[in-house]
Structure 1
Amino acid sequence: MMANNLNVEYLKDKIINLDSMLSEVRVFAPATVANMICGFDILGFAVEAPGDEVVMRRTTQPGVTIRKITGDDGRLPLDPGKNTVSACVQYLLQALNISSKVGVEIELHKHMPIGSGLGSSAASTVAGLFAINTMLGNPLTKEELLPFCVEGERLACGTGHADNVAPALYGGITLIRGNEPLDVISIPSPKELVAAVVFPQVDVPTRDARQLIKDKVLLKDAVTQWGNIAGLVAALFKEDYDLIARSMKDVLIEPTRAILIPQFYEMKEIALKHGALSFGISGSGPSVVTITRDEKIAEDIADKIQTHLKENEIDSFGYVSRVNVEGPRILDQKFFKA
C-alpha cells in the first residue's frame, strides 16, 4: 500500500514505455552534511564521498525484492516493506500504476556508517529512486522524485524532512524554505569550499538526538540564529569566506547535541586553531564537520582530530571533500533484451 503522506496527483498523466525499460542499472548517491551548522532542518550539502550504491535489475515477476545488502553488519531489514529503498521504489511504481507490470530486485551496498550523521538512509533512498527512474527512462524530474525521497526519511527516522535527501538528490547546497508544500532552493557552492568530516565511532541515534532539542527557545537566541542563517546564505551567493566564518555558528542546537559527542569541544578547538572557517555537528551527529577554503588545511585538521580521538581511545573515519554539485550518478546500465 502506498504511503498516505504522498500526494501523487502530478503523476497521473505520466506515460511509461516498458518496452524500452533497462534491464540493469548501478547508481551511486552521496552522503550529505545536513544543517550546515546554523541551518537546522533547512540547509544541507552533498559531499563527493562517502556514499551508497544500489544495483537494480529487472525481473520477470512483478514486485520489488531485496537480493542482498552489504556493509550494514546485518542491521538493515531485507523485508521489502520495511527497507526504505525497496518501500519507496514500490511507492513510485504504485503511483505510476505499473506495480503489477514491473518487477525489480535490489542490491544495496552501504559505503558509509549507519547512524553517522551523514545522511546514510537518505543516500540509500535517493540511489534506489534514482535507479528505478533511470530504468524507466527518466519519466520523473528530480523535483517530482523528491517527495518519495522524503517519505523514505519518514520511514527511516519517523520525520519526513528533506535536509539530507534534497542535497543528495539535487547535488550542491540546498535550502528547504518550506515543507508543506515542499519548497527547495539550490544555492551556489563557493569553489574553494572544502569540508573535513570526521565520524567518531560512538552511537548517537537520530531519534535520541532530536528528542534533546528544546521546543521553546529564547527570542534573543532565535534572532542570533536567523542572522547567522541569512548571513550564510548571502555569503554563499557572494563567495564571501569571511562572512561564511562569521555566520556558521549555532546557538540553538549545538549546545544540547554536543553533550552526546565525546571530545566535541576539544575537536572544535583543534579545528579553529588550525585554520578552519567553522566547525560543528553534521546532521544529528556524531560526525563533525570542519569547513575550510583549502584542501590541505582540511586534511591537516582531519588528521589532527583523528589523532586526538585515537589518543582518547575513540576510533574514527575521516573524509575530505569539496561540495558535490552532481548528486547521484549512473555507474553502469544495461538495456533489456526481449
Structure 2
Amino acid sequence: MRSVTAFAPATVANVSCGFDILGFAIDAMGDTVEVVRSDSEKLRVVSIEGDGGKLPLEADKNTCAVAIQAMLEALQQKVGLDIYLKKGLPLGSGMGSSAASAVAALEATNRLLGNPFEKKDLLPFAIAAEKVACGAGHADNVAPSLLGGFVLIRDYHPLDVIKLPVPEGLYCTLLHPHYELKTADSRSVLRDQIPMKHATIQSGNVAGLIAGLYESDFELISRSLRDVIAEPYRAVLLPGFYEVREALKAAGALGMGISGSGPTLFALSQGKETAQAVAKAAEKIFKTIGLDLDVYFSEINTKGAYVIEEK
C-alpha cells in the first residue's frame, strides 16, 4: 500500500452528568484523513481543507501529525508520511473536531503500517494529540471517535476505558448555533469545589445513565440526563439554553445537554421520528432567539473510526 484514507466520527463529550468521563460518537459527520508514504523521512501536513486556513500545517502543532508521531515513537520507527486532512467538522464547535482529525490519522497510519496496534491501543497516541489541541489530554472525545458508541473513561492512571452498550433506536440531534464560545471561557466558569449534595446527585445520575444504557431503559436514561456540576455555570454562556431545553423536551427529547464545552447542544431521543421532531422544534426556537443554526441528527455511531480506501 502507498496510501490509506480513514474517517473518524464527531463526538459528544460529558453527556450531561458524565463530565470528563463519558462520551459517544455520532454517525452523521466527521473528519477524513489520507496518509501517503513519501520518500523522505519527514512527517508533513501537506494540505487541510474545510478549516478556512485556521489550522496549523506545522507537524508539532497539528493533531494529525502529533498523533502519528507518538505512534511512530512507540514503534521506534522513522517513516516518511504525508498527511491530507479534510475537515467535516466545524472548529471549536464542541463536536470533537480536533479528536476526529487525530483519530482518523491514526486509523489510516495503523493500516498503512500493517496494523501493528489493536484499535484500543491507539488511544494513548490520540490523547497525546489532544494535549496539543486543548492543553489537556482528555479522552472523552478521542475514545468514542476511535471505538464508537458510548464510552466511559473510568481512570487515566492507568488508562481504563470501557465501551458501553447502545440501546437500539437511540438517536442524537446536534444543534450547532452560529456563535463562538471559547473552551477557555467554558472552563473558567467552573468551580474547583462542589457541595457533597451535588456530588451525590451527580453520582446517582451517572450510575442511572449507565444502567439505562445496559437495560435499554429510555425512561431511566431520561431521568439521568441531568448535570448539577458544570451545566448550571455554563448555561449562562449559551443564549436561550433553558428555553431551548424546555422546547426540546416538549417535542419528545429524552434530555438535552451541552456537547463538550459548547456551543453545540445535543438531545437524545427514542426513535428517528422523535429525533426529527426535536430538530424541527430546535430550528423554530432558535429562530425566535435570533440565532442561525446547523442541525444534524442520526443514530449513535457504534463503529468508530474506519478505513475508507487503500491504494
In the alignment, which residue of structure 2 is the partner of 1:3? none
Q: Is the CA contact (8 Å cut-off) linking 1:157 and 1:207 kept in structure 2? A: no
Q: CA deviation at 1:301?
A: 1.2
In the aligned structure 2, how far is the partner of 1:201 from the partner of 1:179?
34
In the aligned structure 2, how far is the partner of 1:206 from the partner of 1:306?
25
In the alignment, which residue of structure 1 is the partner of 2:67? 88
In the alignment, which residue of structure 2 is the partner of 1:36? 15
Count of residues paired in the alignment: 311
The answer to whether residue 265 in structure 2 is matched with residue 288 in structure 1 is yes
In the aligned structure 2, how far is the partner of 1:245 from the partner of 1:204?
27
Structure 1 runs (4+) deviating above 2 angstroms are 310-313
The answer to whether residue 106 in structure 2 is matched with residue 129 in structure 1 is yes
RMSD: 1.0
> Can you list the C-alpha shifts for 1:229-248, whole angstroms capped at 9, x where unaligned?
00111111011111111111
In the aligned structure 2, how far is the partner of 1:257 from the partner of 1:300?
26
- Equivalent position to 1:169, from 146, 160, 166: 146
In the alignment, which residue of structure 1 is the partner of 2:156? 179
* Map 1:270-281 → 2, pairs under 5 A: 270-281=247-258
The answer to whether residue 39 in structure 2 is matched with residue 60 in structure 1 is yes
- Equivalent position to 1:315, from 292, 297, 301: 292
> Can you list the C-alpha shifts for 1:211-231, whole angstroms capped at 9, x where unaligned?
211100111011000000001
* Map 1:293-308 → 2, pairs under 5 A: 293-308=270-285
* Map 1:1-338 → 2, pairs under 5 A: 22-99=1-78, 102-334=79-311
Q: CA deviation at 1:292?
A: 0.6
In the aligned structure 2, how far is the partner of 1:108 from the partner of 1:206?
23
- Which SS does the other structure have where 2:40 is aligned? coil
Give TM-score, length-normalised by structure 2.
Answer: 0.98
Q: CA deviation at 1:187?
A: 0.5
- Which SS does the other structure have where 1:292 is aligned? strand
- Which SS does the other structure have where 1:227 is aligned? helix
Q: CA deviation at 1:96?
A: 1.1
In the aligned structure 2, how far is the partner of 1:268 from the partner of 1:304?
10
In the aligned structure 1, how far is the partner of 2:284 from the partner of 2:111?
42
In the aligned structure 1, how far is the partner of 2:4 from the partner of 2:185?
36
Q: CA deviation at 1:313?
A: 2.7
In the aligned structure 2, how far is the partner of 1:151 from the partner of 1:245?
34
What amino acid does structure 2 have at the position aligned with 1:170?
L
> Can you list the C-alpha shifts for 1:149-171, whole angstroms capped at 9, x where unaligned?
11111110101110000000111
Q: CA deviation at 1:35?
A: 1.1
Q: Is the CA contact (8 Å cut-off) linking 2:251 and 2:281 kept in structure 1? A: no
In the aligned structure 1, how far is the partner of 2:93 from the partner of 2:243?
19
> Can you list the C-alpha shifts for 1:167-212, whole angstroms capped at 9, x where unaligned?
0011111000001111000100001111111011111122221121
Q: CA deviation at 1:316?
A: 1.5
In the aligned structure 2, how far is the partner of 1:196 from the partner of 1:220?
31
Give TM-score, length-normalised by structure 1.
Answer: 0.90
In the aligned structure 1, how far is the partner of 2:86 from the partner of 2:284?
29
Q: Is the CA contact (8 Å cut-off) linking 2:66 and 2:128 kept in structure 1? A: no
Q: CA deviation at 1:145?
A: 0.8
Could you say which structure has the larger radius of gyration?
Answer: 1
